[in-house]
Amino acid sequence: MNYARTALLMAAMTGLFLALGWALGGSQGMTIALVVACGMNVFSYWFSDRLVLRMYGAREIGEAEAPHLFRMVRDLAARAQMPMPRVYIMDDDQPNAFATGRNPENAAVAATTGLLRMLEPREVAAVMAHELAHVRNRDSLIMTVTATLAGAIGMLANFGMMFGAGARDSEGRPNPLGAILGIAAAILAPLVAGLVQMAISRSREYEADRVGAEICGDPTALASALDKISRGAQAIHNDRAEANPASAHLFIVNPLAGGTRDSLFSTHPATENRIAQLLALARDRGMAPLHRATSPQTQRAPQSPSQGSRPARGPWGGGGGGGRRRGPWG
């Protein structure tokens, strides 16, 4: 269902782009804008991963620097039957992570130091599985295309507002009705394009949650991780993300703000809805339910599932029971 929805939304985005081009500049203007958009897509396809990693100061690590994290990603990639991605760490206290790369052969996953400190190993594994799901589903490519189309629509709209709509009748005379429609399209099209882009992003997050839970074999671990990351993102500012809000959709949880429900203007589904979906998946598999507080905002620090409602063991250990906690650094 999510794949079909994504295809329909991308078709709507493309149709909107072509319609706006025709309304503002006729077939010639539409062709020029399409060429520009294709050029932007080619550049984004080849270089967007390097740009975003540099933007967040991510540094690549090897097995010697973070053995547990590196081996964890390697094992998850093997379980997902995909190439081992490059692994990066970002020096940021906010718990979060993202994946980038044009295809599974040229992919990278990045986690913040805050995520590695605050989450249990099984939760880190679930987050990395979610990011590998994005890579396997080629969501980076999908989001690059939609972001480029949205940018091209905005560029075309600005051009139309600056120079006026160029609609003409069959005899080459200015068409007042076409001009009015063109101006209206220039105002509304970027807003609609942004909404479609956000809807695609939310759809892909739900799908990555589902596939990620399958890869790590522990939906409750991902649900617990999302809870902790969401509360951490609300409490800890990510300065680099605040300076580059257009990249917020890359992260597993919105690094800019937290919400309690899905919003038209949100790049991510509400965390509560994502957790509910994962817990339903766990119930379908016969796993024990995850114990969570009813009001995450009232808690000062992330909490693990209670010992009295211990989730099923995944390949990276059980819930946060007793004993000394081992961090993901090995």
CA-based max dimension of the chain:
83
How far, in Å, CA of 135 to CA of 124, rounded? 17
CB-CB contact of 89 with 116 (8 Å):
yes
pLDDT at 208 over 70: yes
Nearest alpha-carbon partner for 126 in 267, 248, 221, 244? 221
Cβ atoms 248, 267 nearer than 8 A? yes
Structure-model confidence comparison of residues 175 and 223, the more confident one: 223
Summarised one tens digit per residue, pLDDT across range 157-189 is: 766 665 554 555 455 555 555 556 666 666 776
Q: Say if strands 86-90 and 107-112 run parallel, antiparallel, or are unpaired.
A: parallel
Of 123, 51, 26, nearest in space to 317 by CA: 123
Catalytic, 65? Answer no
The residue assigned the tokens 């892909």 is: 204
Q: pLDDT tier at 2 (50, 70, 90 boundaries)?
A: low
- Of the candidates 73, 72, 110, 117, the one whose C-alpha atom is nearest the C-alpha of residue 94 is 117
Model confidence pLDDT, tens digit, residues 256-304: 864 444 555 577 899 999 999 999 999 988 776 555 433 333 344 444 3
Q: Would you give the distance in Å from CA 271 to the centre of its chain?
A: 13
Beta bridge partners of 230: none
**Range scoring the smallest mean pLDDT among 34-48, 60-74, 118-132, 144-158:** 144-158
Domains in the chain: boundaries: 2-290
Q: How far is CA 222 from CA 52, 150, 274, 276, 311, in A?
A: 24, 31, 10, 11, 11
Mean pLDDT across the stretch 137-163? 70
CB 56 within 8 A of CB 202: no
189 within 8 A of 157, measured Cβ to Cβ? yes
At 102, the amino acid letter reads R
Mean pLDDT across 100-107: 89
pLDDT at 17: 73
The Cα 174–Cα 167 span in angstroms is 6
Higher pLDDT pick, 26 / 56: 56
Q: How is 222-250 classified by DSSP, letter by letter?
A: HHHHHHHHHHHHHHS--HHHHH-GGGGGG
Average pLDDT over residues 81-100: 96
Q: What does the block give as tokens for 74?
A: 């390697």
Catalytic residue from among 60, 65, 123, 131: 131
How confident is the model at residue 206, as a pLDDT?
93
In this predicted structure, what is the pLDDT of residue 323?
Answer: 38
Kindly report the pTM of this predicted structure.
0.73
- pLDDT at residue 278, as a whole number: 96
Q: Are 88 and 50 in contact (CB under 8 A)?
A: no
Tokens representing 174 are: 């200015």
Between CA 252 and CA 265 the distance in angstroms is: 17
Mean pLDDT, to the nearest integer, of 40-54? 80
Judged by average pLDDT, the poorest of 132-141, 221-230, 278-287, 293-302 is 293-302
When pLDDT is cut at 50, 70 and 90, the band that residue 43 belongs to is confident
Phi, psi for 90 (deg, rounded to 5): -110, 130
d(CA 127, CA 222): 6
**Element containing residue 42 per DSSP (H, E):** helix 2-55
Q: Out of 28-32, 46-50, 75-79, which region has the weakest mean confidence (pLDDT)?
A: 28-32
Q: For residue 123, is pLDDT > 90? A: yes
Q: What is the mean pLDDT of residues 197-222?
A: 90
